């Protein structure tokens, strides 16, 4: 096994698409975390019962994919007109008659689709549903085997040259999920969590008393506020206000049964 696989531990944590490919090879469940904004938008859609098709990028193939699945294709956040849906969670929350949505994202959606091809069960996790997702995961582990591996992928963002930009809000979201997951496990934390997973928990615990305000202060939050999307940061900061768990099956996220 690769020294980067964290295979000695049940709960593992890594960054981005390359990290997902490294640690999810034997994972029973993978939690993808993209707080600003793919998985936040995904949980808002799940709150409304909207089926979401993750798509890597809005390119020439996306429109045909949406048509073939009888779904609305989200437009670019800055290009959305009145009533149009984009990666902005506010637009999903306010949309009328929305039932099926193709949601392109170069980070969270891309990672979710790639991991699904490995056979791991993929769930969408944000600060809004971290505790609910952890409870669902513990329930699934009871049927899969309590020692089954769980991987957590902080999606991150991309610099202009395509390189990974670790996004602190995704580390916080990963840590919120892992903390709730570990609290529900009977085995001691050092036996369960990789050092990387424990680091995510430490980052979350450091910021938790100051959330959601600190989301506005991080680089991604400042970028959205400067672009006129402060409301999206507010939605992302609705910590544990959602009890839904979006589960990816056959290329579409649907709300898991309670």
255, β-bridge pairs: 246
Residues of the chain with pLDDT under 50: none
**DSSP annotation string for 44-61:** HHHHTT-EEEEES--STT
User: What is the number of residues in the chain?
Assistant: 258
On whether the CB atoms of residues 111 and 15 are closer than 8 A, the answer is no
Describe the crossing of helices 108-116 and 38-47 by its angle, rounded to 10 degrees.
80
Residue 136: HSE in the Cβ half-sphere, 13 Å Cα cutoff: 24
| pLDDT reported for residue 189 | 57
User: According to the model, what pLDDT value does residue 58 have?
Assistant: 81
In sequence order, what are the beta bridge partners of 33? 125, 154
Report DSSP state, residue 78: G
Using CA atoms, how far apart are residues 97 and 224, in angstroms rounded to an integer? 27
Torsion of CA 222, 228, 233, 234, to 10 degrees: 130
Angle CA(93)–CA(94)–CA(99) in degrees, nearest 5? 70
Domains contained in the chain, CATH given: 11-254 (3.90.1560.10)
pLDDT of 186:
65
pTM of the model: 0.96
Query: Peptide bond before 37: cis, by omega within 30 degrees of 0?
Result: yes
Buried b / exposed e along 9-35 (16+ C-beta atoms within 10 A)? bbbbbbbbbebbebbbbebbbbbbbbb
Task: Tokens 């929350």: give the residue.
Answer: 93
Phi, psi of 165 (to 5 degrees): -110, 105
Beta strands in 74-199 (DSSP E): 100-104, 121-125, 150-154, 157-158, 164-165
Structure tokens of 256? 């898991």
210 secondary structure, DSSP code: G
Our CA angle for 14, 19, 24, nearest 5°, is 85
pLDDT per residue over 21-35, tens digit each?
Answer: 999 999 999 999 999
């Amino acid at each position: 096994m690769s020294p980067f696989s964290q295979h000695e531990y049940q709960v593992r944590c890594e960054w981005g698409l390359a990290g997902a490919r490294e640690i999810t090879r034997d994972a029973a469940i993978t939690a993808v975390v993209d707080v600003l904004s793919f998985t936040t938008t995904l949980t808002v859609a799940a709150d409304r019962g909207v089926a979401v098709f993750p798509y890597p990028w809005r390119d020439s193939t996306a429109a045909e994919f949406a048509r073939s699945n009888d779904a609305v294709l989200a437009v670019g956040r800055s290009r959305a007109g009145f009533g149009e849906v984009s990666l902005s969670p506010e637009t999903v929350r306010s949309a009328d008659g929305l039932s099926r949505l193709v949601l392109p994202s170069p980070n969270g959606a891309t990672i979710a689709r790639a991991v699904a091809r490995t056979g791991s069960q993929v769930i969408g996790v944000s600060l809004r549903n971290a505790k609910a997702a952890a409870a669902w995961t513990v329930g699934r582990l009871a049927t899969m085997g309590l020692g089954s591996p769980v991987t957590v992928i902080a999606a991150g963002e991309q610099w202009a040259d395509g390189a990974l930009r670790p996004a602190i809000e995704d580390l916080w979201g990963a840590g919120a999920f892992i903390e709730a997951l570990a609290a529900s496990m009977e085995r001691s934390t050092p036996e369960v969590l990789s050092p990387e997973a424990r680091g995510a928990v430490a980052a979350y615990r450091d910021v938790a008393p100051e959330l959601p305000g600190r989301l506005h202060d991080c680089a991604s939050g400042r970028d959205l506020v400067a672009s006129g999307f402060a409301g999206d940061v507010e939605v992302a900061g609705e910590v544990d206000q959602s009890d839904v768990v979006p589960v990816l099956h056959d290329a579409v996220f649907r709300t898991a049964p309670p």
